[in-house]
Amino acid sequence: MNFQFKAMISTVISISKSGADSSPKKILSAILAVVLLLNPVFVFTQENIADSVSAPDTEDPLQKAIDLYYKGDFDNATVILSLIIDSGRLPRENLIKAYEYLGASFILHNHPENARNEFIRALKLEPKLTMDPLKWDPKVFNYFNLVKSQVLGSLQIETIPIGATVLINDLLAGSTPLHIENLVSGDYIVEFEKSGYISYSDTVEVRANIESRISITLKRKANNWLYASGVIAAGTIIYFLLTSEPESTELEPLGSPPDPPGDH
């Protein structure tokens, strides 16, 4: 037990024995001091991190986490990075960077599966993401490239007629025919739009190291002018049938039959 710890214990004991001169507030303060001395990491991860995340104008928590990473403090770097990612307030570019450093922290802290998940999240945001071998630890660099080679595939998209606009997971991808490289394996919602044709959407599975394909024939929309004309014509005919007076079908009375011959 070190000198500071003994001093703190002595302080708590002396306050508790002081009777009327002590107060609950003083006692709690002394106990809190002991707790903080025993667990200084608690002070950093719970108070300082929370303050950094809640007050980004005074200090950049992402840069703080990156500084901790380069100092080898992977535990606290991981905590801060997880908090700021979960806050949902990072712009896309910084979010990708946070995933990179979180994955790197996990790798250097011997948690490869966690690192894999973070690298995949970064690749989903930026499939063309690369790591500079001069910037990153070789262990991080090699593992990132391994994950990238295992999860990326491609997608070939074709339509009849060509020229359809393609959206993948609500993001504009281009127009058909279209070939997309470096897609993280998984399911994607592909939507097709073309003037004069009915919009269409489908779910496509992209598999790693394989070119997936989707080819569809778009259906033409009904001609609105002809449709409207047909509706008007049909309505006119129905109106005419309902409002016109039917011709009389009443039979005229026949005259008296002629007298039979020879009865005069």
Q: Which residues, 6+ apart, have CB-to-CB distance to 59 below 8 Å?
A: 52
> E-assigned strands of the chain?
152-160, 165-168, 171-175, 178-184, 186-193, 200-206, 211-217
Residue 12 lies in a domain: no
Residue 249 lies in a domain: no
Q: Residue 198: give the domain boundaries.
A: 152-221
Q: How many residues does the chain have?
A: 264
Average pLDDT taken over every residue of the chain: 78
User: Which range among 14-28, 113-127, 171-185, 198-212 shows the weakest confidence by mean pLDDT?
Assistant: 14-28
Higher pLDDT: 151 or 235? It is 151
Q: Is the pLDDT of residue 49 over 60?
A: no
Residue 162 lies in a domain: yes
The number of folded domains in the chain is 1
Query: Whole-model pTM above 0.85?
Result: no
CATH number at residue 156: 2.60.40.1120
Residue 90 pLDDT: 94
Residue 130 lies in a domain: no
Residue % of the chain over a pLDDT of 90: 56
Q: Is the pLDDT of residue 63 over 70?
A: yes
Q: Is the pLDDT of residue 145 over 80?
A: yes
Q: Give 238's DSSP letter.
A: H
